Structure 1
Amino acid sequence: MTSLVVTARDDVAEGVVALTLARPDGGRLPDWTPGAHVDLTLGSGDTRTYSLCGDRRDPSSYRVAVLREPAGRGGSSYVHDVLRVGDRIGLGGPRNHFPLVPAARYRFVAGGIGITPLLPMMTAADVLGAEWALLYGGRRRASMAFLDELRADRTTVVPQDEQGLLPLAAWLGPVDPDTIVYACGPAPLLAAVAELVPAARLRTELFVAAELAAPVRDTPFTVELARAGATVTVDAGTSVLDAARRAGATTLSSCERGTCGTCETTVLAGVPDHRDQILADHERAAGDVMLPCVSRAASDHLVLDL
């Protein structure tokens, strides 16, 4: 895994810190596209996934923003309370499950920290000469990151304590065939946008996991780990990821809620029961990859490339 050093750390809103990361030797980092994210392995040993929100034309640094989550699993607390300039962390990726596709017009909708993947998209839209506008909501103005970086002529800022909920219907209006809507934020926001925008014109990324659907089956199944040379039984109370780890398989994971894609694994045989919030419909239909942190088996047996 590539090692990065924290070269800058900035408080960009209440409870949000931005990190600038570079290689220790100052060398070139892997290229990335708007909507991409990286996996960062922290000194605590935890791996967390963050959207890249800096300048993709700068090959020497990455920028991410981290929201403090008091009810989280400790990753954000480590970043806020422990991580300092000069510290080193591990890098995985970048990967992109939320790419910017060509369009004549864009409408961007951000809820809270969901602004981060949209920042480079808006820059790219400017470069492409596309028309765009942003609707950005948050609990309080002070908690909304990067307000000073947004184009005032194309941005509508709606702090909830001042103006209430986002006026989605009035702001979006009818979505014409030349427009694509990008929305990122918590599940209730994305659900509200999805009620107003045709699926073919909508791209979303979830920053807070939605409630998982019930699995196709609640009986045990077996998983063969091709590289580890082991077969495990997965019961109703165990994830495929945990069962694989106990059997000696090694794989990175981050959110463990089916929202980041870090643990994406190749399926060599069997039929997965997809319960993630990352894979597209055609990827689910193909059945050749799955996210073992939340997805299970629809067949009696799976063979995974682990």
Structure 2
Amino acid sequence: MPPDLRGRRSRDPFWVVVGALFNGIQWVRSLRTPVIPYVRPVDRGLTLVVQETRREAADVVGLRLGAPDGGLLPRWQPGCHLDLLLPSGRRRQYSLCGDPADRRSYRIAVRRLPAGGGGSIEVHEDLVEGRTVRVQGPRNAFPFLASESYLFLAGGIGITPILPMVQAAERAGADWRLVYTGRSRETLPFLDELAGLPPGRIVIRTDDEHGVPRSADLLRDAGPGTAVYCCGPAPMIDAVRGAFSAGTLHYERFAPAPIVDGRPFTVELARTGTTIGVAAGQSALEAIKAELPSVAYSCRQGFCGTCRVRVLDGTVDQRAATDQGGDSMLICVSRARGGHLTLDL
């Protein structure tokens, strides 16, 4: 169209209509598209105070934790654990072993492991009565499900998640049995509490009195339909898994499972340029920890997510259900698929 007296061209009516229609469509779409408000991250951590410490067995300390103001704590069920954020920065998981009906306190029990990663020693030496500690949870990675018949297998400190289950089964009137094993009676926590339960349902087996138990000794009462709950050292769990054939088996480890199909690979720590060799039977976490002792970790089994690290180069053999893709990995369980990884460490 010709320009007007000021040199401006008149707008073509066709394009005026098209523009109006387009703007109308966009306006209608905006009405249908929900506006997502900013969501502030929720801190689910708690600051608790150590109300009581008690020697439960040789090298085992029990801690009772409560709110500083004595208020109610979040509910929990048998099988739940707390994440303790220790003063050193270490993060460790410990099973709740008290009474779920007690909303004023949480109880955990920790065995001192001189050759461990330092978390248990810190609990024993630093978490004295009156000390505050940050926790997260409770969380449940070992849920206790309803059944008419139970067989509970506990090895040493593995009694911690099992004890509330046994007490819940007794209250529910279920048919249950407990086999509790350990090196000696002096190393077994909570024997005094178990003494208050029907003695005919509990078998205490110690290595010094009865020898190391076989899987047949542990699973003698595992009849058809029995729900078996097992927690203890890796050899005990592996023996039970290998021999189990009836009912349903639920188990929780306190240590990582052995690596039986691993291949060696190398890891480059991008921030220092250091290259580390990871052996076939070794986790990347173990190898990295020798070079970088401050590396964060906790469960060592691939479920807590503490040791997640960004992958800068290489292909990851994801071995944890919580791994979310090739741009990061849980170095406690996942490995390299192509022989080499570069990590943001």
**TM-score of the superposition, structure 1-length normalised?**
0.78
Structure 1 residue matching 2:169: 3-state secondary structure: helix
Which gives a bigger RCO, structure 1 or 2 (Cα 8 Å, sep 6+)?
1
**CA distance, structure 1, for counterparts of residue 302 and residue 168 of structure 2:** 24
Q: Secondary structure of the residue that 2:97 maps to in structure 1?
A: coil
Q: Secondary structure at the residue paired with 1:116?
A: helix
Match of 1:119 in 2: 163
Contact 1:49-1:254 at 8 Å conserved across structures: yes
- Which residue in 2 is equivalent to 1:295? 334
Q: Deviations over 1:43-67 (max 9, x none)?
A: 2222111010000111121000000
1:162 corresponding residue in structure 2: 209
Task: Give the 5 Å matches for 1:148-297.
Answer: 148-150=192-194, 151=197, 152-173=199-220, 175-198=222-245, 201-215=248-262, 218=265, 237=278, 239=284, 253-255=297-299, 257-258=300-301, 261-263=304-306, 273-275=317-319, 279=321, 291-296=330-335
1:34 aligns with 2:78: yes
Question: Does structure 1 residue 16 correspond to structure 2 residue 60?
Answer: yes
Larger Rg belongs to: 2
Greater CA drift, 39-48 or 108-117: 39-48
Cα 1:221/1:97, change in 2 over 3 Å: farther
Verify the 8 A CA contact 1:266 1:290 in the aligned structure 2.
Answer: yes
**Relative to structure 1, is the Cα distance of residues 42 and 63 closer, same or farther in structure 2, using a 3 angstrom cutoff?**
same
How many aligned residue pairs are there? 286
Name the structure 2 match of 1:72. Answer: 116
**Residues 240 and 295, structure 1, Cα contact 8 Å, conserved in 2:** no
Partner of 1:162, secondary structure, is: helix
Displacement of 1:125 after TM fit? 1.1
Corresponding position of 2:177: 133
- The 1:139/1:121 distance shift into structure 2, 3 A limit, reads same
What is the rounded CA distance, in whole Å, between the counterparts of 2:232 and 2:76 in structure 1?
Answer: 21
Shift in Å, 1:115: 0.6
Q: In angstroms, what is the RMSD of aligned CA positions?
A: 3.8
SS at match of 2:110: strand
Distance 1:135 1:100 in 2: 17
Q: Distance in 1 between matches of 2:302 and 2:208?
A: 28
**1:163-218, CA deviations, whole angstroms, 9 ceiling, x for partnerless residues?**
11225414523733320111111111111111221386211111232323444783
Superimposed CA distance per residue, residues 104-125 of structure 1 (whole angstroms, 9 cap, x where no aligned partner)? 1110111110010001111221
Structure 1, unpaired ranges of 5+: 224-231, 244-250
Counterparts of 1:206 and 1:253, CA distance in 2: 16
- TM-score (norm. length: structure 2): 0.69
Secondary structure of the corresponding residue to residue 117 of structure 1: helix
Unaligned runs of 5+ in 2: 1-44, 289-294
Q: Distance in 1 between matches of 2:125 and 2:269?
A: 41
